[in-house]
Structure 1
Amino acid sequence: MSTLQQKPTLVTGAAGLVGRALAEKLVAQGRPVIAMDRQAQARAQGIEIQACDLGDIHRLHALARDGIDAVVHCGAYSGPMVARDSPYSMVQVNIVGTANMLELARVHGARRFVYCSSTSVYGTVSGDGPIEEGLLLRPGSLYGASKVASEYLVTAYAQQYGVSGVSVRLSWVYGPRRTTDCVIRTMIEDALAGRPTRMDFGLNFPRQFIHVDDAVRGLIAALDAGQLPQHAYNVTGDSWHTLGEIGRFVSDAHPGADIKLQLGNDPVDELQAKFSIDAARLDLGYSPTVSLREGIASYSKWLAGQCGATP
């Protein structure tokens, strides 16, 4: 993608973990960006986040009135553990919000629409894997169902209206500035504070993480791809570790860490076999660059800097 493009990329959820990192990366590449979120923010990196709710249709179109090159839609409730007691709000934000952004992309002639989806669309999937994108989707949560519905909207807008859209199915994202629940952050923060970490599940429960930098890399790859042979792509860190193993990785970075987990599945997450990222490698040129061990070590240093501790 040429850095000389004149029209900006509209990034939703720009105050969140992935949206913020994405907006910063695009600006660093010399690309114009319109960053929006529910709350306005002024940022030291030179990015001004415009206040706009996904349901405010008039405000959305006002932001895009001078034209946009593309939309990367990261704005949503960001996990099955969020808004569990607010199903109506989940539908309005995650599904209707996506429909509003797709209509904006259609009306303003966006070149590409990239939807930030989730591996939660698969629900529980047993076996050894690898799980490919063509597997029947059986979400086990309203969050996962909202992602499935939004993916179908992206595909329908592509087929019926010619909006070049693609869904990027991210696995669990971790890294600097994550604010929602994250077991890696909890383990690291406990270690830094000299607290024990105790969990009554997870010792044998696998979870597939992706560092925020790799998540951004995958979204940009989808944004810039010339052709899109598939409507959706798995984008993960290409690892498959139990929470017990992840605890040992944290202990490697913090030798004094006291982390003990019990057997059992995570009560708010699905048991899933390993995901294949072969299609993303082939079609998008995506490949993760941050191993889980490296990501945990660098995340530890960042968290230590935030609290003034010694990693």
Structure 2
Amino acid sequence: MSEPTILVTGAAGLLGHAVRVLLEANGQRVLPIDRVAQTEEGQPIVACDLSDVHRLHALAVENRITGIVHCGAHSGPMVARDNPYSMVQVNIVGTANVLEIARIHGARFVFCSSTSAYGNTPEGLVPEDVPLVPTSVYGASKVAGEQLVSAYSRQYGVDGVSLRLSWVYGPRRTTDCIVRTMIEDALAGRPTRKPFGRDFHRQFIHVEDAARALVTALRTPRLPRQTYNVTGGTYLTLGEIGDIVRRVLPQADIALGEGPDPVDDRQHRFDVSAVQRDLRFTPEISLEQGVRAYAAWLQNRAAA
């Protein structure tokens, strides 16, 4: 019999890659899949589109799948904005297809959700149980995914949990990220200019902390909750984040206007007491540490 294997979807992406690296560093056998077969840091990724349910089942039969970390998705409201149908097919139908693997094979299921599920939040500390009113199809797809996880748990006994991650930043991010923009501009000697954001709060989490939260959830079965907020522990304006970038890179020339990001939700500080209590998770990488490491990674990549 083959050894226990963790299926990681979206393994070529920001979070999926970090989850795979963390699992393999701890000696876990991993089946990494993504839409296109490729090699990452000398390790192969198996081609499997989330819409191809027959391919998913074939891979599950060939491997002893005991856990799933489902990171595969359109990864933010800025992605596929002109193709909501694709967002639904990938993020909702794809999640249902992977949940079927969990149901049939009795695998632990960890869903990578997002604080975009909330939409704009009420004032004050935001716990998991406030009403979800997403403002984007992406946010709605995460709500739908969470509900599927909960329904599979109630109806079929699938041991599943959803982690609502705040904005993830760090090496390998390819979609819009103002932290990366500030760093890249500073390294290139360009000014960073935005007509908004100086007083607009955003809660970032480093990719390695996000991956650690997902892996911790995978290893903690039968949790008392099915959804958890996970952030990097800060609640800063983009102006304050710019100040951190300037501390790390004194040459940074950053000027932001007043007002909210026109394509982002206005969200208040998320309550992370549940994930601290049940998963004993707290972030390990401060924003300044993360910015410093990210700047070094971007500089090395540019040099290479």
TM-score, normalised to structure 1's length?
0.95
1:62 matched residue in structure 2: 58
Maintained 8 Å contact 1:190/1:196: yes
1:36 partner letter? I
Does the CA-based 8 Å contact 2:199-2:239 persist in structure 1?
Answer: yes
SS at match of 1:53: coil
Correspondence for 1:107 among 104, 107, 131? 104
SS at match of 1:173: strand
Partner of 1:201: 196
Structure-1 separation of matches of 2:125 and 2:211: 23
- CA-CA distance at 1:285 after TM superposition: 1.4
Flag structure 1 segments of 5+ consecutive residues without an equivalent.
Answer: none
Q: Is residue 77 of structure 2 the alignment partner of residue 80 of structure 1?
A: yes
In 1, the alpha carbon distance for the partners of 2:224 and 2:156 equals 17
Structural mapping, 1:132-281, within 5 Å? 132-281=127-276
Percent sequence identity over aligned pairs:
60
Query: What is the CA RMSD across the aligned residues, in angstroms?
Result: 1.2
- The reply to whether residue 285 of structure 1 matches residue 280 of structure 2 is yes
Matched, 1:53 2:49: yes
Q: Is the 8 A contact 1:126 1:271 kept in 2?
A: no
Distance in 1 of aligned mates of 2:244 and 2:206? 15
CA offsets 1:116-163 (integer angstroms, 9 cap, x no match): 000011110142x32111111111111100000110000000000000
**Which aligned segments of 4 or more residues in structure 1 are displaced greater than 6 angstroms?**
none
- Superposition deviation, residue 212 in structure 1: 0.4
Deviation at 1:298, TM superposition (A): 1.1
Amino acid at match of 1:198: R
Residue 75 of structure 2 aligns with an amino acid whose one-letter code is S
Among 287, 291, 295, the residue aligned to 2:290: 295
SS of 1:64's partner is helix
Q: Give the CA deviation at 1:231.
A: 0.8
How many residues align? The count is: 302
Structure 2, unmatched stretches of 5+, are: none
1:90 to 64, 87, 90: 87
Residues in 1 aligned to 2:71 and 2:93: alpha-carbon distance in whole angstroms: 14
In 2, Cα distance between equivalents of 1:277 and 1:44? 33
Distance 1:44 1:258 in 2: 34
Contact 2:22 2:212 in 1 (8 A): no
Contact kept in structure 1, 2:229 and 2:272, CA below 8 Å? yes
